[in-house]
Amino acid sequence: MNEILTHNELVDVVSQAILKKYRDHFKDMFITNVSIDFPKPDFIYMPYRFVEMRKITPKKLKNLVSVDSGIMVPVAFELKPPYAMKHEYLTAIGQALAYTLVFPVSYLVIPEFSIREDFDGVQFVEKIITRHNLKIGIISYNSNNPNKVELIREAEPIYDTLDSDTVSAMITKIKRSYSYWRDTRPEEVYDVLKIVERVMLEKRESSSIMDDVFNRVWEEILSSRFSEASKNSYILNYKLFFVQNGLIDKNGKITALGLNLLLLGERLGSDSNEFRDLVTYVLLIYGGHYQVLSKIYKIQEAMKETMNDECLLDESKWLECIKTN
């Protein structure tokens, strides 16, 4: 694999390669890059059992951590591409450490060697982590073939210093490997972000404006489409869309990504094809839908020999072919 992959393509390849090789170490996990708020890892391994949990405490996490039976708690990963410069390894260490504020286990994933500088990043990072007894782990990958990965240093789980409310608020909301999207129209993305901007100006002193924002969203956008009886469910649908796609934070305030999208909407027009393409890009890349489509594509490619043309006629036939193969 000699072609240079984009960061998102690299995340997709490496995240699957690690899980495939170290399946006994990372127990019953699914891969996602959908996290609720800052700090945001490049990808996360999420145990299936956590999907049903409503409350997570450090004590619960401690009981789930076992060296012998493998990791059964959420794991955060920071990945650096092979063309990263030397100073980026320093910021990567900081990012991986920051993830331990929310996630009990954190790994830094780096190439065996930098292709832009004559630099052994693995040795450099491992020396820092060892000298300062940091808890983060290291995984390396081959720059020419990212499917080749190696566990260099195992992470030490952190749970005693985790804040129960923060962990529960962020981790328990990660239910799938892709962001929530239901009912939201592309042009409404601009309208909602515009409301967020207005409310932020009106309530500068407020730490959280989430309820104010989405009450306004209901009044100005949704009430003309949906009945009052369904108000709460539709507000939740829209709230999840904007938070999980990284457009607003957990307090309802606009993020850098959300602000960029708003400014481009003003420039291009919220009903333009270009703005629709931008919303699609956000869903694919920041919302994890690219990874889902990539997995579907790989499954279909692997099943070409056993699938016939009838399998692609409609969704029901396709699903039946998936089940039988």
Q: Report DSSP letters for 128-148, one per residue.
A: HHHHTT---EEEEE-SS-TT-
| pLDDT for 306 | 67
**Which of 291, 265, 297 has the alpha carbon at shortest distance from 279?**
265
**Which of 41, 25, 13 has the alpha carbon at shortest distance from 148?**
13
Torsion angle of alpha carbons 118, 122, 126, 128, nearest 10°? 40
Query: Is 44:33 a contact under the CB 8 Å cutoff?
Result: yes
What rounded mean pLDDT belongs to the chain? 83
Place of tokens 């009903």: 271
> Which amino acid, 85?
M
Residue 232's CB: how many other CB atoms inside 10 A?
11
CA angle 231, 282, 51 (to 5 degrees): 60
Give the pLDDT confidence of 211-226 residue by residue, as tens digits. Answer: 999 999 999 999 988 8
Name the token pair of 141.
């990958």
Average pLDDT in the 271-292 region?
88
- Does domain 7-171 fall under CATH 3.40.1350.10? My reply is yes
Name the token pair of 18.
């690690």
Split at pLDDT 50, 70, 90, the class of 148 is very high
Residue 202's CB: how many other CB atoms inside 10 A?
11
Most confident of 26-30, 148-152, 220-224: 148-152
Q: How far apart are CA 253 and CA 243, in angstroms?
A: 10
| pLDDT for 214 | 94
Query: Is 102:167 a contact under the CB 8 Å cutoff?
Result: yes
Place of tokens 């493998």: 70
| pLDDT for 279 | 94
Residue 304's CB: how many other CB atoms inside 10 A?
8
Query: Is 143:115 a contact under the CB 8 Å cutoff?
Result: yes
Give the pLDDT confidence of 237-254 residue by residue, as tens digits. Answer: 888 889 888 899 888 999
Least confident of 33-37, 171-175, 189-193: 171-175
- The half-sphere exposure of 310 on its side-chain side, counting CA atoms within 13 A, is 4
How far, in whole angstroms, is CA 139 from its chain's centroid?
A: 19
| pLDDT for 237 | 86
**Model's pTM, two decimal places?**
0.71
The enclosing H or E element of 6 equals: none
| pLDDT for 51 | 61
Split at pLDDT 50, 70, 90, the class of 70 is low
Structural domain spans, the chain: 7-171, 186-286, 289-324
Give the pLDDT confidence of 91-123 residue by residue, as tens digits. Answer: 999 999 999 888 889 999 999 988 777 788 899
Q: Is the pLDDT of residue 67 over 50?
A: no
| pLDDT for 226 | 86
| pLDDT for 233 | 87
Q: How far apart are CA 15 and CA 256, in angstroms?
A: 26
| pLDDT for 103 | 85
DSSP lists the bridge partners of residue 254 as 248
Give the β-pairing of 70-71 and 75-79: unpaired
| pLDDT for 302 | 72
Query: Is 89:74 a contact under the CB 8 Å cutoff?
Result: no
